[in-house]
Structures are given as C-alpha cells and as structure tokens.
Structure 1
C-alpha cells in the first residue's frame, strides 16, 4: 500500500480515497484508531473488519452473526457513524476512527446506555447486546428526538427479538428522555495495549518493543485466539513403524510437513519456528494458507510434541490450532499415534460450519498419520499428492451430503409419526 490516503466526502459519509492496488497473494498494512488506540495490522485484502477486531486485536465484544450485514450483531462506530463490521474490509478503514462496545464505557464508569440496559434487564443471553448498544448509541447521538413509539422501527436494524426486547426498548427510551440533546460520547476510549498489535515501536503482548521504524512484514510468533475453538479433533492411529522411528519423523519438520496433504516447509527460523504453506480443496473452494508453526513443548522421553500453528489465506480466511502429537509403543513393535487439535477458524473458511471443519481436520490427521508411518519406514513420503487432497474433499462432501439426507429422512419419519398419532 502507499502512504495513508486522504479521506473525501461523498454526501454525508466520508469514505477512503482509492489507494494502490493490493494483489490477491499480498497483504497490506492498515493503520487506524480503535477505542482511542492507534494500531497497525497486516491483513489480507479480503479480511473483514469484524475478524480483524476479534482475532487480531482481541476485541471479542463485536459479535458476528449472519456475516451478511443483516442481523446487526457486528455494529461498530466508524468515524462516528454506525457500520457493519462484517461488510467492511479492514483495508477500507485506513485512517478511520473505530469504536467498539469495549470503547463505549468501562467496568468502573459505564456509559448511560450500559447502565440502563442493566437496570431494565435488557441483556438476556447477551449475544445481541453489543449490536443493540452500538446501534442505540448511533440512534440517540444522531436522532435524540426519536419518539418512544418510533423506537421499534428505529432499532429494527438489529434483529434479536428475545424476551429481553421490551427491556431494550425501555432502556433506550429512558436514556433518550434523560439526554434530550444527545447521549454522552463513548467513555471507554483511551490508549491501551491491544492483543496482536503490530505498529512499529509498540509493545507486543508478551514480547519486547520493536525498534522504532522497523516493520514486521511477516508473522514471527503464533498467538492463539482466546475464544473457544471452532472444532476439537482427536484422532488415534495405529502405525507399523517403531516409536523411535516415528519420533524421528515428528522432530524433522521438513519431513513432518510433507506428511500432511498439500503442505510444505518454506523456511525455518530456528529449531522451534517454521514457516510453511498448505493448500486444500473443498469442492469448488480452494484454500491456500501460509503461516507459522511454533513448537511450545518437546518431550523426547514421552515422545510428545506440542506446537501452535497460525495461517491466513489471501481470500480472508484464517486458521489457528493448538496441536499435540503423542507416540506410544505398542506390544507388536508398532506405534500408537494420538493427535489432538483445538482448531480456530475465521473468515470464509469458518462458514463451512463446525461439523465439516471437524470432519476435514480428522481426515487430514488420518492421512497425516499414514504419511508419518511411510516416512518412518522409508525416510520419504510419496503419496501426499493432489489426488489425496481430492479424496479428502470428495470424502468430506460425500459425508456431509449423506448426513443431510439422513437428517431429512428422519424429519420425514418424525412428521409421519406425528400425523399418525393425531
């Protein structure tokens, strides 16, 4: 990207001026102010703002629902106006001022809207609460004269209609009455450390500050999301090779990477940090991830290896995983290889759903185990090919379709039973 673009006016809304083109395989540095803190992140051009706020900056108060701009759960303030974080690419927000629900108020000094939501029991499960708070703030800041009877229509941009809905309207009505000239500005915006912050000279979480003027063009440390994993995978495989040979494969990252379908080692920084890429096809969707694997535990006595992996796709998808591999000798001289992974998905790949994500991950580990067995026996891997990736995609799609047919048949049987009983 070029220097920060000027922002120009198009009617009532400022939008970023065009900047230099970013190729699909490249990433771009974007600088904006989030809740009073200026931060720079390096993102793929198709990464949307919602994922960057949650996965890169740790601001998980911005919830993602439909990811089509319909439900309103991801509402934030962009330059003072409500915007859907799932409809904005992060690269569009260069130079913008963004306020999330974390910036509305603090635990010790809540915004009047937060106080009113609590007083009227307008929270319920809490999933819609951030969107409702930011949407109602935008409404009362720009149209404080909105009549109480007009609130249901004025607040209709956020779709939740649970049993807390009347409480939400009552809370907004109370604040509108208390502040007829407009609500107080967000009170939680102040300089603070952000998870994943990458601006030059800024302190990284858990690391030393970079020298001023140095950029971090590539990921050099894996940081797993604090949110629950998208899928948890456990796969146990029986290998014919003895445990010592299997362990030698697990500790050779170049050979280990070739055991995973579509993966390859690109560069090793040291014995614990390795950069690589992996390609996988799911039907018509082809994903190509590039990222970092970082060993966090290596126990040669128990033949146990743990590492964290993190990667992104130029289409805006991102994945991270906490992976444990444990090899145990079996009475017949072979090895039992146990693989456990907590997998985190965001962006386009997350839309496949937990079930498919778990199934694909299990199949990958099954084929990985076969590759480890081959490498332990022969010292190389010959079968990790495009054909294997095709079998993976076809198998996952076939199982997903079969599951859908089984569920449809079960629904038909249930309806038939209800009809008979009535």
Structure 2
C-alpha cells in the first residue's frame, strides 16, 4: 500500500498529470465517512475547503493553512494527513474520514467521551485535529505509554496549552482498549451531496445566478447530520381553515416570508425563488429550488424540500414541515426544519442560527395571520440583524427569567 506522501507526489500512469485552465473545474469523487461524495472544484481548491465549503463537513477546522498547527488533520486512506496541504483533486478515489465520522452526539466515540471526561478541551478549536491525530495513533501503535503519546501528539498545537489533559484522555482509551481499538461510530453507506451547487450548477461567484435559473428534477438532502434542527410554533388569531387557504396560494405565502421572492413556477409544485438575509454587515442572497412534496388537505400539512445557493459559494438545503392545528384562540402553526448549511451562513453558531430562524418564523406567521384577515401587510423585507437581535435578547431574558422562577 502506498503511503500518503507517495500518493500525492509520485507521477505514474495510475495518477496521470494533465493541464486544465485556471478557472476550469473538475469533478472529483471519493468516499467520506463511508459515504460516496463528488465535488466540482477548481484544481487549486484544498481538501480542507472542499470538505467544509462543498460538503458541509465543518468539523475540520482551519488554522495556519501551512501544515504547522495540525487543526485540519483528517484520515486519508488510513493515514493522518493535513487537509490544508492536499489539493482536492489529489484524493480522487480515496477514502477519507473526518471528525464527523468518529461519532454523533447520541453515540460518541470513546475518544470523544474521554476528551470530555478528562477536560481535554477548552476553547475546542484544536479538538477535531487532536481527535483525528489520536485516532490515527491508536490505530497504528499497539502499545503506548504517556511519553509516547505526548511525543506522537505534538504535531497538533493547542492554543490553550491543555496538553496534560489531552495526553490523559488518549492514554485512558489506550488502556481501556488494549487489544482492539474502538471503530468509528458514524461511518456508513450513503451519499454526501455537494452543497456548492443548487440551481447554479457549480459554486462560481463569476457566474450570474439569474442566467442559470432552472428547475431541478429532484432535491435530495444529504444523509449526514443536519447543521441544525429548528422546531417552533406560534398561535395566531385566525382560524385554521383560513390560514390553510392562504398557504395553498404559493404567491401569497412567499409574500409573507421575510426577504422572499417567488421567481418562477414550473408547475407540479416546483418553484424557483430567492431569499435575502442581512446579519449585520453580512448580506446574503440565496437563489434556489423549492419542491412541495406533501400537501395534505385533511391534516393541513405542507412538507417542502429546499436547495439554494448564494454567489459566494454558500448553500442551504432543508426539509421544512408546516402543520396548522385548531386552537382556542384561533390556530397554532408548527414548523420543523432540518437544515444543512455551508459557507458564511454556516459560520454562525447553532444557537444564533436557531434564534434567527425563529425570528423569521414569527415575522412569517404574523404576516400570514394579517393576510388571512384581509389586512394589507407592509413589505416584509429581508430578515435584518436589528429585528433578530431584538427577538434574541427578548428570548434570552425570558429564558433567564424562567430559570430563576424554577429555582425559587
């Protein structure tokens, strides 16, 4: 078996070398965490960027981008490798494991559990690199003592200098599993979908989105864990039947959603639309497809699949489930969203992202209620940082107040 270094440096008939234009892209296929993945990238795109920006695997952190800090460590064909030093086009046909493949929140890998139990993480920025380096070490070394671990793990830098606890965490797993090292808990069959596509085909800031509007035949969501899950509900004055009537009219429904614009109706409940979001200085405009896959008249339920991209290469893929029920004060609207995000919007924390979505939902249901009552609604506009901040602060104060009340 070739070493990782040999794979990426040796020219052979198996790995031919050929030229392509600087702005030309190429499809690269490989396996990530047991799932097939294909990305369409320029030859200069690093593996770390392909994993984060195109596949949404943001667990791989980027630090120095010079191969020094070790934050971006992943496993490539069974060997630890710095993903910031490898081009995506060099891993054609390779098997890659990222920190997401180690385990899930509900089924942690023993290394992850040990890091938590031994306080082996502080700010957490180095943790993915430490975990992948530790996994590689356990896989290749049958016996380990603490001095060996400290030396072998020195390739990943901890800015918080928490090395003693990191060594303790790795040592504990080595002692608990002396004969057979624990296998990854989240590597299975399936397919990773590139997040950099959407209606634009490829994530290319130089291409006008408007010139490439088309309706996708199908929308398939990634099989990986969503970036966030949002579950919200609100009570409105209008009864359920009147709200459902408005929700059956897609144009009226779009006008109620902050920053949304319906661009094209392709029939069969397939649409192309745009939504604008402003989070302080960050202004995003997502163009993409919306497919209504369930429209249940009896239960007043709509399920829609969404796939959209912005010009900066970011993307959102989601399944949104809306249900209307009767309520003594009118009706209650419930929404459940499984959201996959990449790019700039994915850099916001889950908590802030969930708060932002909740604020948009409140604005949406308020406009929906007003429309059902026959009132003229003002231009909802794009979701703004000020409106979100106001709702977030209000929600946090309410949550703190509830906690204090429970303690009493």
Tell me if both proteins adopt one fold, taking TM over 0.5 as the criterion: yes
Structure with greater Cα Rg: 1
The 1-side partners of 2:301 and 2:396 are apart by 38
**Quick one: structure 1 residues 148 and 323, their matched pair in 2 at CA, closer, same or farther if it must change by over 3 Å?**
closer
Give 1:19 deviation, angstroms. Answer: 4.2
| TM-superposition CA deviations, 1:230-250 (whole Å, max 9, x none) | 24231213144x544422321
Partner of 1:164: 169
Partner of 2:379: 383
Q: 1:233 aligns with which of 215, 231, 250?
A: 231
Q: Does 1:354 align with 2:350?
A: yes
Partner of 1:277: 274
SS at match of 1:301: coil
Partner of 2:219: 221
Q: 2:386 aligns with which of 394, 400, 403?
A: 394
Matches within 5 A, 1:127-146: 135=133
How many pairs does the alignment contain? Answer: 334
Q: Contact (CA 8 Å) 1:266, 1:275: kept in 2 or not?
A: yes
Provide the alpha-carbon RMSD of the alignment: 5.4
The 2-side partners of 1:244 and 1:88 are apart by 58
**Quick one: structure 1 residues 406 and 19, their matched pair in 2 at CA, closer, same or farther if it must change by over 3 Å?**
farther
Q: Does 1:124 align with 2:113?
A: yes
Q: Does 1:296 align with 2:296?
A: no
The 2-side partners of 1:248 and 1:277 are apart by 23
Give 1:405 deviation, angstroms. Answer: 10
Partner of 1:308: 305
Q: Contact (CA 8 Å) 1:237, 1:338: kept in 2 or not?
A: yes
Matches within 5 A, 1:9-88: 19-21=21-23, 30-34=27-31, 39-42=37-40, 48-51=49-52, 55=56, 64=59, 66=61, 68=63, 75-77=73-75, 82-85=80-83
TM-score (ref. length: structure 2): 0.60
Q: Does 1:94 align with 2:89?
A: yes
Give 1:311 deviation, angstroms. Answer: 2.7
**Quick one: structure 1 residues 43 and 367, their matched pair in 2 at CA, closer, same or farther if it must change by over 3 Å?**
farther
| TM-superposition CA deviations, 1:366-390 (whole Å, max 9, x none) | 111122234334497542225xx3x
Give 1:278 deviation, angstroms. Answer: 0.9
The 1-side partners of 2:77 and 2:320 are apart by 40
SS at match of 1:280: strand
Give 1:20 deviation, angstroms. Answer: 3.2
The 2-side partners of 1:122 and 1:331 are apart by 51
Q: Does 1:336 align with 2:336?
A: no
The 1-side partners of 2:194 and 2:294 are apart by 25
SS at match of 2:74: strand
Give 1:279 deviation, angstroms. Answer: 0.9
The 2-side partners of 1:38 and 1:239 are apart by 48
Give 1:221 deviation, angstroms. Answer: 1.1
**Quick one: structure 1 residues 349 and 149, their matched pair in 2 at CA, closer, same or farther if it must change by over 3 Å?**
same
